[in-house]
Structure 1
Amino acid sequence: MAYVAFDAFMKESKAFVEEQLVRYANTLQCPNVLREAMAYSLAAGGKRLRPLLLFATLQAFGKDRDLGIGTACALEMIHTYSLIHDDLPCMDDDDLRRGKPTNHKVFGEAMAVLAGDGLLTYAFQVVTEQEHTDVTPEIKLRIALELAKAAGPEGMVGGQVADMEAEGKQLTLHELEYIHKHKTGRLLEFAVLAGALLSGATTEQQEKLLTFAKYVGLAFQIRDDILDVEGTEEEIGKPVGSDMTNEKSTYTTLFTVEEAKQILEETIAKAKEAISSLQLQDEYLLAICDLIAKRNH
């Protein structure tokens, strides 16, 4: 497949998945207020990093991103539901998300809970109903299984619980990495694994791509911790130093900022090394590594 510049690939991928998310929301046969609440948060924007990773993995194998649109949208629905629930008064009690009122501020707490529930369950409907001829029933089943593992108690939900229990405590590096790898990393890993499964990757290719994704997920969170110290409120979308205010252990509390930057650099290098031997068309995956290392929000 012909390559376009990474910036163009990123913009096209973001626009493509957002267009398809609207389409999926509009086809729902359900009460209008529920559809509106689900669509409200799906349309809130964001980096769309998870779909981008999935599409870049497909591109690495010379596959078209149409092959992964159902899975990418399902993944973004899972991510969006988690944000809706994170913002609730019983969790982080946030009034704004990406500069807009949070879901419960617009639709009320009960509807926000149901909108999150709806997105979580709809994601698995989307995965199993996707109609691309190259997505076999066996692949759908494996993707549904891996998505459930990545999003559930052994993945994102477990990481969120560990993060809540860690507030006000001094964590070890091992405990901090558990939170990062599960709360954030598991869905990023799933994005790469799903792209590999859809592309017909060998077991060896899947393993090396998963190693790549683990380092990418960790690097993303290390950069997040650095931005909480060095970023601006406009860039990161939350008050600078909020992790310290909430008494959270981070890479910049366990290490100095300069040490955290060095660990970030080493982690990105390990991610790149993991895929260098696969001889794929990995330009976009490598570009995502650089994007994560240098991002400001």
Structure 2
Amino acid sequence: MKWFLLFGGIALAYFWFKGKKKAAVAATQASKSQSLRPKVSNPEVMVRCQCCAVHLPQSEAIAKDDRFYCSEKHTHTLDATGWLGSATWRISPNQDNRPEGVTPDLLVLHHISLPPSGFTERSSTAFIVDFFQNKLNISKHPYFREIADQAVSSHFLISRNGEVFQFVSTQKKAWHAGLSSFLGREKCNDFSIGIELEGDETHPFEEIQYEALAKLTDQLSTKYPNLAFAGHSDIAPGRKTDPGIQFDWKRLQTKSNIPAEKFPFGFDSR
């Protein structure tokens, strides 16, 4: 009996050891098999080009604010909804639809400064942006109380450092011209695009503003080839004086290569 128990114990130890070894081999093989399997990566996030609507991986797209573009060219193009990719978008509530079938064929230039001549002391572009969005804090300056109830906008603003803001789609009507007439046609807001230059009548505009304006007019003319060019004072004489005597019309025409006939009021400062 003693010998039987001894051999039984040896047999149990043998089979236990053999089973443990077999389990270790199986675990090693399973680990190798797992390491040979291709790793599954997370799928690439896809985005859509704001201009042409093509889908592409986000890593290959050009980002602008919360928008994406498939090429540098498309960032400098008006998209199908009338928004410019290279501009900083700040949507204004002060807008409405153009008359049915009307396409812009007039570009009106303005100047604006909030507060008046405020840009000479510090950067004040943000006040203009807030004004066009009906967000102007009247406690910031006494002049702001005088304009608090005004609801106005422009399609574009070019700041003193050349940054371009867009507030209204070019397909929509911005509230920039007011009571106005262009060569006998009333209500210029209906058929015009308004561009504000940060400045006033006593200080020259910056070179970088002319460069940004020339580039913007080229981008707009690509979409709207029949654009004529005028100042606010041209379409509202006696009521408005902007862009004023500091604006160099010939400089704009030379930089942008716009045909002279597109300037019906000529190139003299006014």
TM-score class, shorter-chain normalisation, is: under 0.3
- Normalising by structure 1, we get a TM-score of 0.25
User: Normalized against structure 2, the TM-score is what?
Assistant: 0.26
Considering Cα pairs closer than 8 Å and 6+ residues apart, tell me whether 1 or 2 has the greater RCO.
1
Give the greater-gyration-radius structure (CA): 2
